[in-house]
Structure 1
Amino acid sequence: MSNQAATAQNLSFVLEGVHQVKFEDRPIPEIKDPHDVLVNVRFTGICGSDVHYWEHGSIGQFVVKEPMVLGHESSGVISKVGSAVTTLKVGDRVAMEPGIPCRRCEPCKGGKYNLCENMAFAATPPYDGTLAKYYVLPEDFCYKVPESISLEEAAVMEPLGVAVHIVRQAEVSPGQSVVIFGAGPVGLLCCAVARAFGAARVIAVDIQPGRLSFAKKYAATATFEPSKVSPSENAARLIEENDLGPGADAVIDASGAEPSVHTGIHVLRSGGTYVQGGMGRSEITFPIMAACTKELNVRGSFRYGSGDYKLAVGLVASGKVNVKELITSTVAFENAEQAFKEVKVGKGVKTLIAGIEA
């Protein structure tokens, strides 16, 4: 395998079908737009969506019909720049934002490019992902990282960008109380971002005690393990134990689990804000009466938009958010499949795959 990596032009980790992956040498992608850059990918984190495609071959309407390169949480080093590139040079270390919007549709023009009607997002069919030696991106979707941030940390800017977007959607402000359901990578990062935004109390909720103890060490000010009772009973206990009075100012669901959604709605104070960040089943029952009578602000959150990656890099560079603590293991490129298996069984918090240095 290491010989293959040494002699390959652009070795890529390709999903062919459910649980069917292979390493394939592909041509080095060409710079076609003068504003594009060629990145030598150095580290790639594994996301739940990558594992879902590997396990099921689809997510909702996105179905893997042709072989597809996996991965979208990446960092790398610029190896070539287009003729119109002004902000980056060969050798620059960057965090890679993996979704390229069309820039022409109404959402793009309205400043919400994450809702682009023609988004080309890495490792979302039919677009190839970043688990390859090389990847092409527009220069403005590559974020230069300072020397204080390692390339391993730079790969975590993608889930951190998601967390920044969610916490921005929740309009978290200094002194507020925030309850975050789900202590996986995104939920943990939401805790850290909420703290960085000045939240006085950040309560992490999960059904796994191990995750809660990590959350408490990491960024949560308190934790809560739900009992097997009704959501309104869990909400009442959560409010009481944390002295939240009329309820929390903001709730973020990073789990997608129906009981979490219900408990979250019941935990909020009147006029509070609920943000759905986790994806669960496509249809669930919803406590509409509580949402209505409490006049809640209920919002979705999808990927990241303008300024989110930039802020993510700034939060890590300033020391306000620590992503290093979330990286539990780094595996060699040739062991990529093993890394997917480890993430599938919930091993560690964030697993990285090391790329092939040019």
Structure 2
Amino acid sequence: MIEDKMKAAVLTDLNKIELQEIKIPDPKDDEVLIEIKAVGLCGSDVHYYQHGRIGDFIVEKPIILGHEASGNVVEIGRNVKGLTVGQRVSIEPGATCGECEYCKEGRYNLCPSVEFLATPPYDGAFCEYIAMRADLVFPIPEEMSYETAALVEPFSVGVHAINRGRLSPGETVIIMGMGPIGLVTAAAAKAAGARMIIGVDLEQSRLDVAKEMGATHTINLREENLKEKVNLYTNGTGADLAIETAGSPKAVQGTIESVRKGGRVAIVGMSPQDEVPVSVSKIIDKEIDMVGIFRYHHTYPMAIEMLSNPEIDIEKIITNKYPLNDTAEAFEKAIHDKTNTLKIMIYPN
């Protein structure tokens, strides 16, 4: 039996999360109720916690954060087919309209009417239960952990990046920034058959994890010169694809420096400054194709299949685990111990 009330970690003010008791949502006819088992703490959650906004998305009332989630189906709406009570699932967090031009052309990640978990004004998954539209709920294999199922969400960003970057088997990819998104992008590139994966960061501890996630080579920018190392690794040619995940203006510039003539650049990281200086002459001279990456679309089945391969142990990026009661402590850990923290996992149940 499910109780009427549940616990939720609610952001009530800047840098303030309170554990509250709220009503368990009732699933609509096209929804399922999910008992949340694991939720990853994302950089966007930390931005809302510290600053109350990301661009035009502003926290104007108390909100439940968390969008990288997995759990068990415990109740099913009357019109739902293909899901059963007890199924273990991964949750795609963005409910799109299905009617706009972007949805109809298959790029539903650009839907202007998307209701995305933990993006104001919509609540997220740092709570014991959520109701979710059934078409956004994906069963996972029995052998897949709740942690891996939660990490399907950030992994999907990496999958979308290599898809948009047109990575082909046997190619060389360089990834600027070995935070959680950079690391899962390295794993996605490995699964896609990249011959050489070069991970770049300022922290050696992150580069060490990158090697475990699929990077064949690393560059520590505190000690090594980017251009020299790329030339050494690629015999002076440059990478076929450069992916920026750090959200750093210098990293954006580094992608242009590192990619070969006729190569591709994919920008994933959101820089704190809106305008970033780049060398237009180099973009033209090299005839570089540049693309932006916003979330993902049609990635979940593929991502779940890729993460079912035992060679990809995405849980290596998990550095800390907290119960729901200690969600505020988890946020403070993410903010004040960046050197030793990659992905934090919260356990609502």
Shared fold by TM > 0.5? yes
Q: Which residue of structure 2 aligns with residue 3 of structure 1?
A: none
The alignment covers a number of residue pairs equal to 345
**Runs of 4+ off more than 3 Å:** none
Q: Does 1:140 align with 2:135?
A: yes
Superposition map of 1:1-358 within 5 A: 9-32=5-28, 34-226=29-221, 234-280=225-271, 281-306=273-298, 308-344=299-335, 345-346=337-338, 347-356=340-349
Residue type of the alignment partner of 1:264: T
Displacement, 1:218? 2.8
SS at 1:23's partner residue?
A: strand
1:235 touches 1:264 (CA, 8 Å); kept in 2?
no
1:133 touches 1:355 (CA, 8 Å); kept in 2?
yes
Comparing 344-353 and 79-88, the one that deviates more: 344-353
User: Residues of 2 paired with 1:27 and 1:225: CA distance?
Assistant: 49
User: Residues of 1 paired with 2:146 and 2:222: CA distance?
Assistant: 40
User: Residues of 2 paired with 1:175 and 1:273: CA distance?
Assistant: 15
1:38 touches 1:81 (CA, 8 Å); kept in 2?
yes
1:8 touches 1:25 (CA, 8 Å); kept in 2?
no
Change in Cα spacing, 1:146 to 1:237, as seen in structure 2 (3 Å) is same
Aligned-residue sequence identity (percent) comes to 36
SS at 1:210's partner residue?
A: helix
Displacement, 1:128? 0.6
User: Residues of 1 paired with 2:16 and 2:222: CA distance?
Assistant: 39
Could you list the per-position Cα deviations for residues 233-283 of structure 1 after superposition, in whole angstroms to 9, with x for gaps in the alignment?
A: x44312222134321100000001111111110111111110001111221
The answer for unaligned runs of 5 or more in structure 1 is: 1-5
User: Residues of 2 paired with 1:204 and 1:54: CA distance?
Assistant: 29
Comparing 127-136 and 321-330, the one that deviates more: 321-330
Residue type of the alignment partner of 1:256: G
Root mean square deviation of aligned Cα: 1.6
Comparing 99-108 and 281-290, the one that deviates more: 281-290
Could you list the per-position Cα deviations for residues 275-313 of structure 1 after superposition, in whole angstroms to 9, with x for gaps in the alignment?
A: 00111122111111111121111000011101x111111
TM-score scaled by length of structure 2: 0.95
Residue type of the alignment partner of 2:345: L
TM-score scaled by length of structure 1: 0.93
Comparing 88-97 and 344-353, the one that deviates more: 344-353
SS at 1:26's partner residue?
A: strand
2:59 touches 2:121 (CA, 8 Å); kept in 1?
yes
Residue type of the alignment partner of 1:246: T
Displacement, 1:8? 7.3
User: Residues of 2 paired with 1:79 and 1:56: CA distance?
Assistant: 35
The answer for unaligned runs of 5 or more in structure 2 is: none
Displacement, 1:329? 2.4
1:12 touches 1:24 (CA, 8 Å); kept in 2?
yes
SS at 2:262's partner residue?
A: strand
Displacement, 1:50? 0.2
Could you list the per-position Cα deviations for residues 299-331 of structure 1 after superposition, in whole angstroms to 9, with x for gaps in the alignment?
A: 00011101x111111011122422122222221
1:270 touches 1:295 (CA, 8 Å); kept in 2?
yes
User: Residues of 1 paired with 2:45 and 2:62: CA distance?
Assistant: 14
User: Residues of 1 paired with 2:207 and 2:134: CA distance?
Assistant: 39
Change in Cα spacing, 1:20 to 1:227, as seen in structure 2 (3 Å) is closer
